[in-house]
Amino acid sequence: MVQAPSRRDRVRAATTQEIIQTARRLLVQQGPDAVSLRAIAREMGMTAPALYRYFGSHEELLRHVVADIFTELASYVRAAIHDAAAGAAGLREAEVMAVKMIAGCRGFRAWTLEHVPEFSMIFGSPLPGLEVLREVHRDPTVDCGYQFGRVFLDLFGDLYRRRPFPIPADDDIDPALAAQLARYRELTGSDLPLGALQTFLRCWVLLYGTVSLEAFGHMRFALDDPAPMFELMLADLAPMIGLPYPLPERSG
Amino acid sequence: MVQAPSRRDRVRAATTQEIIQTARRLLVQQGPDAVSLRAIAREMGMTAPALYRYFGSHEELLRHVVADIFTELASYVRAAIHDAAAGAAGLREAEVMAVKMIAGCRGFRAWTLEHVPEFSMIFGSPLPGLEVLREVHRDPTVDCGYQFGRVFLDLFGDLYRRRPFPIPADDDIDPALAAQLARYRELTGSDLPLGALQTFLRCWVLLYGTVSLEAFGHMRFALDDPAPMFELMLADLAPMIGLPYPLPERSG
DNA sequence: CGCTTTGATTAACGCCGTTAATTGATTACG
DNA sequence: CGTAATCAATTAACGGCGTTAATCAAAGCG
């Protein structure tokens, strides 16, 4: 049986949240190097060691910040999908699904470009010493990362069930990959065929590559404004999942 | 008229190179946080302020490290392409080109996986305050980045001239993109049509996305070993540039 | 009331980038 | 040759960092 949280625990949780939000504000306003224990404490009218009541280390605090960012990104993308679906009432089902998928991808990009420091924190080079922890402690980062992945996976599954598109047969999938896809399917409790999961991951590679190149500025060697490349990517992505693209748009 | 470098200048350049190599060794052996002026100096039997004779700041030193890494990566990929070409003597021209292109991509991935810290440094989230400098100081980072890009661009151009593949006509390219592609073509002195450059950048997005997802571990939410995804990406990439894939391989 | 727990403090350690002042060696040249 | 200038390095110091230990005041509670 789970105990109801005491008043002190609630205060504690609230303070924890304040710390995370302060850290995010520093991240956004002054860059990643400004997210120091001392700066956060200063900002909150405390001293640095006080934060050790809430987090075991600077790195643990950062992992909670990452988790918070993942959660916000997930709800942002969910909202973008939801809004697009509302705006697409009356269209045929295939088109509604296309609108939702495109909106999810565009939402991901829009959030990223508005939150480059946060994006860097969750999708850039991993914090040193993070990977080892993946399986050890229950890391909030991992759970929230999964939660974000689920937004796209659910949408993708919805699309596949309503409007199945061509996917490779199990026998056409590299056995080494198929085994891992099966594990992933089990992990997520999905009921999609392996081929659909493979296509899902190919889409994720496309989306992540395009958006992170743009966010990190690694396309500036050629382009000042990589926005058209994103649309090109969508044009590549849509036929992979049986969607019409470009859509009949109602607004630019 | 350019003066011959004096003995002192040569010593200076040699020391500069030693510093950069020491920094890289620290990066590889002890991670990005270990690349501090003090640690580098310690490693070289000096004190930290001495390094200011060679670099104006810690960040400037890091930019030179980045440039050095770019240069090494470029020559690694060039060598991989060269070796593959040597091994493909006797095949038909289309197949030779395919072998070279695939070897370049595989070389890029292989180097990355063997040099994850270095890859993170040059292709991860940009160092804070870097982007503003792009146009101001002559930054070695930028030049060496271009030099790396040229490896693939040259190979790509070679391929297109020998075995033209379908590309979009100029009129089918988003005007906003076409203008930038024209600028890029001018910058690089290339003679490729805009459509080929567009295809080139789409390939770069695919390659970068796949490799960086793998290097940064952002695919571990689904796959322990993303290697099969790389081969899938190659299978997507090859038809974009008119190459047969999979190739008749001589060794796994 | 007294004891414990809680949440904070201050002081300190060793690290960092950076600057200023200084020192020793080497070079340049009158 | 001898002296002045230059160069490459040093030491000392500043402020900031993460982290730890010792301390302290208030709250909770028997």
Q: Which residues of A touch B156 (CB under 8 A)?
A: none
Q: What is the pLDDT of residues A62-78, one digit of tens each?
A: 999 999 999 999 999 99
Token representation of residue B30:
């002890």
Can you tell me the mean pLDDT for A172-189? 97
Cα dihedral sign for A57, A59, A65, A67? negative
Minimal CA–CA distance to A155: which of A79, A70, A72, A209?
A79
> Distance (Å, rounded) from C-alpha A234 to C-alpha A102?
7
Q: What is the pLDDT of residues A203-243, one digit of tens each?
A: 999 999 999 999 999 998 999 999 999 999 999 999 999 98
3-class DSSP string for chain A: CCCCCCHHHHHHHHHHHHHHHHHHHHHHHHCHHHCCHHHHHHHCCCCHHHHHHCCCCHHHHHHHHHHHHHHHHHHHHHHHHHHHHHHCCCCCHHHHHHHHHHHHHHHHHHHHHHCHHHHHHHHCCCCCCCHHHHHCCCCHHHHHHHHHHHHHHHHHHHHHHHCCCCCCCHHHCCHHHHHHHHHHHHHHCCCCCHHHHHHHHHHHHHHHHHHHHHHHCCCCCCCCCCHHHHHHHHHHHHHHCCCCCCCCCCCC
Strand, coil or helix: what is B125? coil
Which of B205, B225, B240 should we substitute to test contact with A (largest number of A Cβ atoms within 10 Å)? B205
Q: What is the pLDDT of residues B191-227, one digit of tens each?
A: 999 999 999 999 999 999 999 999 999 998 899 999 9
> Distance (Å, rounded) from C-alpha A243 to C-alpha A238?
5
> Distance (Å, rounded) from C-alpha B117 to C-alpha B10?
30
Closest residue to D12 (CA to C1') is: B49
Token representation of residue A88:
């697409």
The most confident of the ranges A8-22, A126-140, A148-162 is A148-162
Token representation of residue B217:
């571990």
Q: Is the pLDDT of residue A251 over 50?
A: no
B201 → closest Cβ in A129, A202, A229? A229
Token representation of residue B129:
């305050």
* Strand D, nucleotides covered by protein (CB < 7 Å): 7-12, 16-22
Q: Is the pLDDT of residue A127 over 70?
A: no
A14 φ, ψ (degrees, to nearest 5): -65, -45
> Distance (Å, rounded) from C-alpha A235 to C-alpha A247?
10
Indicate yes or no: CB of B198 within 8 angstroms of CB of A225: no
Q: How far is B98 from chain A (nearest CA, A)?
A: 22
Output the pTM of the full model. Answer: 0.93
Q: How far is B1 from chain A (nearest CA, A)?
A: 31
A65 φ, ψ (degrees, to nearest 5): -60, -45
Minimal CA–CA distance to A52: which of A100, A102, A15?
A15
Indicate yes or no: CB of B222 within 8 angstroms of CB of A180: yes
Shortest-distance nucleotide from A49 CA to C1': D19
Indicate yes or no: CB of B232 within 8 angstroms of CB of A180: no
Q: Is the pLDDT of residue B60 over 60?
A: yes
Token representation of residue A77:
């993308």
> Distance (Å, rounded) from C-alpha B10 to C-alpha B155?
35
pLDDT of residue A248: 54
Indicate yes or no: CB of A232 within 8 angstroms of CB of B198: yes
Give me the CA A40–C1' D29 separation in Å, rounded: 34
